[in-house]
Structure 1
Amino acid sequence: MAHDGLKTPPQLKPDTLRVTPLGGLGDVGRNMTCFELNGKILVVDCGVLFPEESQPGVDLILPGLDQLADRLDDVVALVLTHGHEDHIGGVPYLLRQRPDIPVYGSRLTLAFVEAKLREHRLRDCALHAVAEGERIALGEFGLEFYAVTHSIPDALAVVIRTPAGSVLHTGDFKMDQLPLDGRITDLRGFARAGEEGIDLLMADSTNAEVKGFTPLERDILPNLERVFAEAGRKLVVACFASHVHRVQEILDLAAEHGRKVCYVGRSMVRNMAVARELGYLHVPGGILIELSELNDHPDDEVVVVCTGSQGEPLAVLSRIANRDHPAIGINPGDTVLFASSLIPGNENSVYRVVNGLTRLGARVVHRGNAFVHVSGHSASGELLYLYNIVRPGNVMPVHGEERHLVANAELAVATGVPRERAIVAHDGDVIDLHDGVARRVGRVDASYIFVDGSTVGDVSESSLTDRRILGEEGFISIVAAVDLREGELVAGPDVSARGFLEAPAIFDDVTEKISRALVTALDEGVDDEHRLQQVVRRTVGQWVSSTYRRRPMIVPVVIAV
C-alpha cells in the first residue's frame, strides 16, 4: 500500500490493530480512518474537504480512497459518526466502488446519506440505523455507540473493541450541558468504557487551542433575538445546510417576529426536509414559503435561510453578494447574518463576500462583531475532562490542522498520558496497537483526490498549477508557419491573449522579436518544430517578464509547411 518515498509498513501481525487515517489529520475536512485486524477493515467516516482559492475548478477533495481500491472485499463496514459533509460527503465515491458495503450511522445521518446516494444514482445500498447505547458485532470488531452533542443532531461516538485492544473514537463533540434537544454527551458511558479499558483514544481536536469551555448553544439566543429586532428590512441568514439546531432557532424567532422563512440552496432545502420528516426539526405552521413566493411579501416580513457561510463561490450567499442570484438581491438596510463558524482556510473567501454585501448596503453580522455563533467542538477544558474520565493508554488526536493536533496531544500529556503515547499522526501514517502500546510503523499515500465535475482523481497538482497561472497571469498563444527546407518564416507570427493586456497593439514589439528569433534559428540550421517552439517561448517569456513582470502561460505553435 505504500508509494514512492514512503516507508512501507511491515506485514500486519495477528491480533494487532492497525489504524490508518486517510484524511482529517492536518485539514479540517475529509475525515476518514481505517481499522484493520486479521485481514478485515472497519472504516470510520468518509468525508470531503472543500477546495481553497488555490485549487481552481476543483469541486471537492476526497480522502485517500485509493488505499482501499485493492481491499474493498475486506471492508466489513463503514461507520459514520454524524451527518456533516466533512464526515459523509465522500460516501457516494466509496460506494461507487462497492455498493454493498454495510453503512452504520444514526437515523438522521443515514437520511442525509441516502439523499446524497439518490443524487449519485446509487440505490439498494446497505444502510443500518444505530442509536446510542446500542452494541453490534461485525466479525472481530465489537462496536458500542454513545450519544454526543455537536452542532448537528444525532451525532455518535463509537468504542471499537477488538482482541488487540479497545479504541474510543469521539467523532466531533462538545459537552453542552443544556443542549436545545436535551441530548447531552454521554460522559457516564465514556467513564464506563474507561473503567473497562480504552487503549487508544481518538479525540476531536478542532478547538483544542481554545481555553475553557465552549459556550452553550442557548447562550446566543438573546443576540439572535437582537438581530431580528433590529432588522428593519430583509434578513438573510447563512449557515451550514446540516445545522439543524441553528435553523430551529431561526424558525422560532421568525415566528415570534411575524416573518416568513424561505430556504434557498439545494442542500439546505433537502436537509431541512429530511430533518423535519424525521422529527428533528419542528416548523411552526404556515411559516415556510417557496422562493417563487418571496417577492409576494414585504422585505421586513421575510427571512432567507441559505448556504454560503464559507464564501463558496457557487453557493447562494456568494451569488447574492456578486449580484448574480436570479431571485434575491441585497438593498441598503438589509441584514445578513453569518450563523456559523469560519473554517480555517476560508478567511479570504468569507471576507470577500462580507465586503461585497457591505458594499451593497447590507448590515453584516458575524462572529467577529457579535456573539451569534457557538462552536460544535470541545474546547480545552472539555478535552481535559475527557482524558481524566477515560484515562486512555494511548492518544491519537484527530480532526484538525497540525496546530490543533499538537495542542490536543499536549492536553493529554498534561493529564498523565506519557508523551511517547500521545501520537501526533498525519494522513497516511500507520499506527499499530499491540499489547496496549500504539506505535507508528510506516506510511501510505493519503494524498488529495480531486473531484472536478464528474471526474475523480484525474486532476493533478501540476494541472492545478497550470490553472492558477491561467487565472492569475493570463494566457498568450503564438502561431507561426515555417518552411524548413528553405529555412524561411512564411506566415505569422500571430499573437493572441486572454486575461493578459488583451489590446492587440501591445504585441507589436514582441512580434518583431519573435520573427527575428525564428529567422536567426532557421539560419543557424534549426529544423525541428519543437526547438523552434522553445525559441518562441523563450523570446516571449523574456519580453513579458522584463516589460510587465508577469508570468502568463505561453503556448507557441510552429507549423512546418
Structure 2
Amino acid sequence: MFSLGGLDENGKNMFVIEVDKNIFVFEAGLKYADELTLGIDYIIPNVTYLKENKKRIKGIFLTHGHDENIGALTDIVDDLGNPCIYGSKYTLEIVKDEFDNSNIKYKNMKEIKAYVPIEIGNVKIFPVNLSHSTPDNFGYAIYTKDGVIFYASDYVIDSLMKGAYKTDIGKLAYIGKQNVLCLLTESFYAGVEGFTSPRHRIAPLIRETLNNSDGRIIFNVLDSHLYRIQELFTEVEKTNRKIVIMGKRLKKIIDFAIENHYLYISKDIIGDLSNINDKNVVILNANEKDKPYYNIMRIVNGYDKFIKLNEDDTVFLATPIYDNREKTFYSLLDDIAKSGANVVSLSSKKYLSHHASNEDLMTMINLMNPKYYFPIRGEYKNQVMNAELAEMVGIPKSNIILKENGDVVTFKNGVMLDTFERVHNGSVLIDGTAGDDIGEVVLKDREMLSDNGIMIISVTLNKQTKEIMAGPEILTRGFVYVKDSYELINEIKKISEKIVVDNTKGMKYVEYNKIKNTIRDELSKYLINQTGNKPMIITVIQEI
C-alpha cells in the first residue's frame, strides 16, 4: 500500500491498497492552491501509476464529500477507465453535483451503507460510521488473509453527535478484536492536547452573535459542513430571524439534506431574496473549491449584485483558515474592518475543526489494537507527532510506519517487508477547465512575469537583402515605463540592432534562433547590470 497524496501535506488525499494484484483506491482529493501558485486553481495527485494499471482498479472508495477527498474525481476518472465509485448516499450526491457542474455524465457509482460489507474477490470491505462535520462519513475495514487494514478518515469522538454523524464505538471495538494488521489514521491535529470535543462546536458563538447583533448577519461556511449549518439553523430557530440561502449549489445541498433527514430544519425560517435587506436577516453564503473566500470577498468588495455590505452588518466566518491562504484571510479581515462592518471569526486556539486530537487518536489506537500503525494525512511533523502518540500507548517503534507519497509498504504473511519500493507520484496543477497539467515551466514563466515583467523586441527585415526595414521596436509591460526610460530603451535598440546586423549582413542563410538567443542573452546581462531586473525577453523577427 502507498499514498499518491496526503502525506507531508494537507489535502490531495489519495491512498492505494493492493491485495493480490487488485487495486483499491481510497479518496481522490484536491489541495487548494496558494498565493505562490500563480493563477493555479487547485492541485491534484499525479495518477500515472493508476493509469498504467487501470484494468486492476476495483473501485474508488470515498469516506466523505469534502474537496480534499473527492475534488480530483472530475479530473481523473476518464483516465482511469471510469472505475466504480463507492460512497454513502450523501457523499455520492455531492459527487454527482460536481460531475454535473463539469458536464460529465458518470453512471458508474454505487451507494453503500455503513455496516453492510462489500465483497470484491477475496477481499471484504466493511464501512463504519465516524463522526465528522459531514454526515455518513466512513472509515473502511479491509479484510485480507493477513488481517484487517483499517483506514480511518477524518473523525472526532463526540458522544453528542447522533444519527448519520455518530461514531459507533462498539463496532470499532468489534473490529479491533479481529486481528487488525494495520491502522491508518489522520495526523492533522496530532499535536493538539486532549479531545477535539467540545471545541469543534460553535453553537455558543452563534448564539452570542445573534444576541449581540442588531443588523444583518452574513454567515460564511463550507457548503459540505452540514453539522455547522445545522448548528446555525438550530440557533436561528430560537429567534425571530429568517435565513436566506445564497447560491443554487448550497440551496440544492440543503434541500437534499432536509429531504433525507441529514438536516432537521423548519422551512418556516427560510426566506428568499425579498428578505435580503431585512434588518434581522441571516444570509448563508458558501465557499467554492477552487476559490477559497471568493464569494465572501465579492460581497465585501462590493461586487455582489444582491448584497451590499453596510456598517450595521456582521460577517461571521465559520470557515477554517486554509493552509497557505493566511494572507488572503487576514486581508479579508482588513477589508471587512475598512467597510465598518463587524466580523466574527473562529480563533484557532479556542475552536477546532472536526479532526482527531491526540486523545481521539489514542482512543482509536486502543480500540483497534493494531499490529502496525501508519500515520497519514498531514504535514510530516504531524505524522511524527502521531507516531509518538502510538509509541506512548504501546505500539513498538519498529511497527510504526512513517512514509512519504510514493513510498510502498508491503506485508506478507502478516509481516512488513523492507522493499524500499517507490511508485511514480507528484502533483498536477489545474488551471481553468482544461484538466491538463500546467506544469512547472509555465508556473516559472508566470513567476518571472510577475516579478520582472516582459520585453518584446520587434524587427522587420527585407526578405531579399536581409537589411533592417523597421525597428527594432521595443514594447515592455511590467518592467519600465518607456517614456520615462528613454536612454535605457535607446541603448536596448542599439544592442539589438547590432546583433541583427552582425548575424545577417552578407549572409544567404540567416539563423534566426541564434539571433533571438543572442539578443536575449546580451540584453539580460545589460539589464541586470543597469536595473537589477531580468524581464522575460521575446524577439520577433519578420521578413517582407
Q: Give the TM-score normalised by the residue count of structure 1.
A: 0.89
Matched, 1:237 2:219: yes
1:178 Cα deviation (Å)? 1.4
Distance of aligned partners of 1:509 and 1:530 in 2 relative to their CA distance in 1, 3 Å threshold: farther
Distance of aligned partners of 1:305 and 1:311 in 2 relative to their CA distance in 1, 3 Å threshold: farther
1:137 Cα deviation (Å)? 1.0
1:193 Cα deviation (Å)? 1.5
1:532 is aligned to 515
Which stretch has the larger CA shift, 276-285 or 145-154?
276-285
Q: Distance in 1 between matches of 2:372 and 2:423?
A: 22
Q: Is the 8 A contact 2:99 2:106 kept in 1?
A: no
Counterparts of 1:115-194 in structure 2, within 5 Å, are: 115-123=97-105, 125-179=107-161, 181=163, 183-194=165-176
Q: Is the 8 A contact 1:393 1:437 kept in 2?
A: no
1:293 is aligned to 274
List runs of 5+ in structure 1 lacking aligned partners: 1-18
Q: Distance in 2 between matches of 1:216 and 1:267?
A: 30
Which stretch has the larger CA shift, 507-516 or 181-190?
181-190
2:533 is aligned to 550
Match of 2:386 among 395, 408, 428: 408
- Aligned partner of 1:293: which letter? S
Residue-by-residue CA offset, 1:249-282 (whole Å, 9 max, x unaligned): 1122223232222222454233223222221112
1:458 is aligned to 437
Q: Distance in 2 between matches of 1:352 and 1:532?
A: 46
Matched, 1:110 2:89: no
2:48 is aligned to 66
Matched, 1:195 2:153: no
1:199 Cα deviation (Å)? 0.8
Q: Distance in 2 between matches of 1:399 and 1:370?
A: 21
Distance of aligned partners of 1:304 and 1:548 in 2 relative to their CA distance in 1, 3 Å threshold: farther
2:524 is aligned to 541
2:325 is aligned to 346
Q: Distance in 1 between matches of 2:524 and 2:306?
A: 45
Q: Distance in 2 between matches of 1:499 and 1:323?
A: 28
1:543 Cα deviation (Å)? 5.0
Distance of aligned partners of 1:265 and 1:146 in 2 relative to their CA distance in 1, 3 Å threshold: same
Q: Distance in 2 between matches of 1:267 and 1:427?
A: 33
Match of 1:358 among 330, 337, 351: 337
List runs of 5+ in structure 2 lacking aligned partners: 505-509
Q: Distance in 1 between matches of 2:252 and 2:157?
A: 28
Match of 2:482 among 481, 493, 504: 504
Q: Distance in 1 between matches of 2:106 and 2:494?
A: 67
1:334 Cα deviation (Å)? 1.6
Q: Is the 8 A contact 2:50 2:80 kept in 1?
A: no
Matched, 1:56 2:42: no
Residue-by-residue CA offset, 1:81-135 (whole Å, 9 max, x unaligned): 1111111122233332356522222221112112222333444523222222222
Q: Is the 8 A contact 1:357 1:364 kept in 2?
A: yes
1:55 Cα deviation (Å)? 1.6
Matched, 1:516 2:512: no
Q: Distance in 2 between matches of 1:218 and 1:369?
A: 10
Match of 2:261 among 273, 279, 285: 279
- Aligned partner of 1:38: which letter? D
1:407 Cα deviation (Å)? 1.2
Q: Distance in 2 between matches of 1:377 and 1:41?
A: 27
Q: Is the 8 A contact 1:167 1:201 kept in 2?
A: yes
Distance of aligned partners of 1:375 and 1:481 in 2 relative to their CA distance in 1, 3 Å threshold: same
1:201 Cα deviation (Å)? 0.7
Q: Distance in 2 between matches of 1:268 and 1:125?
A: 23
Matched, 1:491 2:470: yes
1:337 Cα deviation (Å)? 1.1
Q: Distance in 2 between matches of 1:310 and 1:457?
A: 18
Q: Is the 8 A contact 1:56 1:464 kept in 2?
A: yes
1:247 Cα deviation (Å)? 0.8
1:485 Cα deviation (Å)? 7.7
1:436 is aligned to 414
2:507 is aligned to none
Q: Is the 8 A contact 1:236 1:337 kept in 2?
A: yes
Q: Is the 8 A contact 1:428 1:446 kept in 2?
A: yes
Q: Distance in 2 between matches of 1:512 and 1:340?
A: 54
Residue-by-residue CA offset, 1:221-252 (whole Å, 9 max, x unaligned): 22211111122222111111101011111122
- Aligned partner of 2:490: which letter? E
1:449 is aligned to 428
Residue-by-residue CA offset, 1:324-355 (whole Å, 9 max, x unaligned): 22222222232111112223222112112222
Q: Is the 8 A contact 1:78 1:103 kept in 2?
A: yes
Q: Give the TM-score normalised by the residue count of structure 2.
A: 0.91
Aligned to 1:455, what secondary structure does the other structure show?
Answer: coil
1:325 is aligned to 304
Aligned to 2:323, what secondary structure does the other structure show?
Answer: coil
Q: Distance in 2 between matches of 1:218 and 1:513?
A: 64
Match of 2:195 among 213, 216, 239: 213
- Aligned partner of 1:235: which letter? I
Same amino acid, percent of matched pairs: 25
- Aligned partner of 1:431: which letter? V
Q: Distance in 1 between matches of 2:95 and 2:541?
A: 52
1:424 is aligned to 402
Match of 1:91 among 69, 73, 77: 73
1:172 Cα deviation (Å)? 0.8
Q: Is the 8 A contact 2:482 2:489 kept in 1?
A: no
- Aligned partner of 2:440: which letter? E
Aligned to 1:53, what secondary structure does the other structure show?
Answer: coil
1:443 Cα deviation (Å)? 1.2
CA RMSD of aligned residues (A): 2.6
Distance of aligned partners of 1:439 and 1:348 in 2 relative to their CA distance in 1, 3 Å threshold: farther
Match of 2:294 among 304, 308, 315: 315
1:310 Cα deviation (Å)? 9.2
Q: Distance in 1 between matches of 2:466 and 2:76?
A: 57
1:337 is aligned to 316
Aligned to 2:287, what secondary structure does the other structure show?
Answer: coil
